[in-house]
Amino acid sequence: MTRAEQSPTAADSGASATQVFRANQQYHVGDGASPERVSAVVKALLDGVHETIRTYEVTYSEFQAAKQWLIEVGEGGEWPLFLDVFVEHEVEEVAAAGQQGSKGSILGPYYVPDAVKLPSVTSLPMRADEQGRRLVFAGQVLDTGGAPVAGAELDIWHADHEGYYSGFAPHLPEGNLRGVVVADDDGRFEISTIEPAPYQIPTDGPTGQLVQAAGWHPWRPAHLHLIVRAPGYRPITTQLYFAGGNWLDNDVAQATKPELVLDPQPQSDGTARQEYDFVLEPTSQ
């Protein structure tokens, strides 16, 4: 196969993102919110739509084109992609208000639960010829009082050297560059992997078409995803970026924060090393 034939399409990643979301989500339409809250939130959302239509004198053909686009986002399975790129950062900011411990960021559409469990000093699963600069990511998980969190889990996943995620690109082996690393009794970990490339929203699907039609760019800066968790602590979902990388200052998903930028230092063995500690906040009292 040529590289072009192997390249994942928007449909590959969109359909799998929707399947993964439906398999994992614990929420159901109609659960939880009171009629008063549903009414208030949905009315505010619709008020915004109506106001936009009046302000921009939106035409019938634009209205019908929008309807067509919305149908295609659903059929292409791109609602997780679209919502995580353009909306999730705001939900994360509201959720994080008043929380202590390490900074978080958005989950995104490419998390797959139940990755392989790995010891505290480990390499992520990768291909024999995996490309990219070698990265050693090491540190300690502490609580807000400064005590180590023994056995904390670092659920880590990231894109490869071309910006593709395993599970959402048919040419990649299942579980590639994904793992649940279990910290040692001092909360310490040392993870060997490769540096990912920036992520590009697929240009052949409806989200990419919108981005192009609006003259925006489709890029996220290179990033590692992590969920750091331990019983009795609030889990931290976060992303870590790389100093000097492209798109750091204009992430299409608006999910960067200064505290989340790494600067791995080149070592004599050719790897780059980064120390980073996580701080977890206790859930109760």
The enclosing H or E element of 55 equals: helix 35-56
> Contact positions toward ligand MBD, by CB under 6 A?
81, 84-85, 106, 108-110, 199, 220, 253, 255
Among Fe ion, ligand MBD, none, residue 253 binds (CB under 5-8 Å by kind): ligand MBD
> Count residues contacting Fe ion (CB under 5 A)?
1
Among ligand MBD, Fe ion, none, residue 124 binds (CB under 5-8 Å by kind): none
Three-state SS for 30? coil
* Phi, psi for 196 (deg, rounded to 5): -75, 165
Among Fe ion, ligand MBD, none, residue 85 binds (CB under 5-8 Å by kind): ligand MBD
Stretch of 102-110, 119-127, 169-177, 256-264 lying at the interface with Fe ion (CB under 5 A): 102-110
Quote the least distance from Cβ 84 to ligand MBD, whole Å: 5
Among Fe ion, ligand MBD, none, residue 230 binds (CB under 5-8 Å by kind): none
Quote the least distance from Cβ 262 to ligand MBD, whole Å: 16
Contact flag: residue 206 with Fe ion (CB under 5 A): no
Among Fe ion, ligand MBD, none, residue 227 binds (CB under 5-8 Å by kind): none
Strand ranges inside the chain, DSSP E: 117-118, 121-123, 134-143, 153-158, 178-182, 188-194, 199-200, 219-220, 223-229, 236-242, 261-262, 265-266, 272-275, 278-280
In the DSSP assignment, the letter for residue 259 is G
**Which pair of tokens denotes residue 181?**
């690393």
d(CA 219, CA 199): 6
Per this entry, what is the length of the chain? 285
Stretch of 70-78, 104-112, 255-263, 273-281 lying at the interface with Fe ion (CB under 5 A): 104-112
Contact flag: residue 108 with Fe ion (CB under 5 A): yes
Q: Which residues contact 127 (CB under 8 A, 6 or more apart)?
A: 173, 176
Three-state SS for 85? helix
Provide Rg for the chain, Cα atoms: 20
Quote the least distance from Cβ 30 to Fe ion, whole Å: 30
Three-state SS for 87? coil
Quote the least distance from Cβ 163 to ligand MBD, whole Å: 8
In the DSSP assignment, the letter for residue 144 is T
Among Fe ion, ligand MBD, none, residue 187 binds (CB under 5-8 Å by kind): none
Q: Which is nearer to ligand MBD, 77 or 109 (CB)?
A: 109
Quote the least distance from Cβ 279 to Fe ion, whole Å: 23
- Residues making contact with Fe ion (CB under 5 A): 108
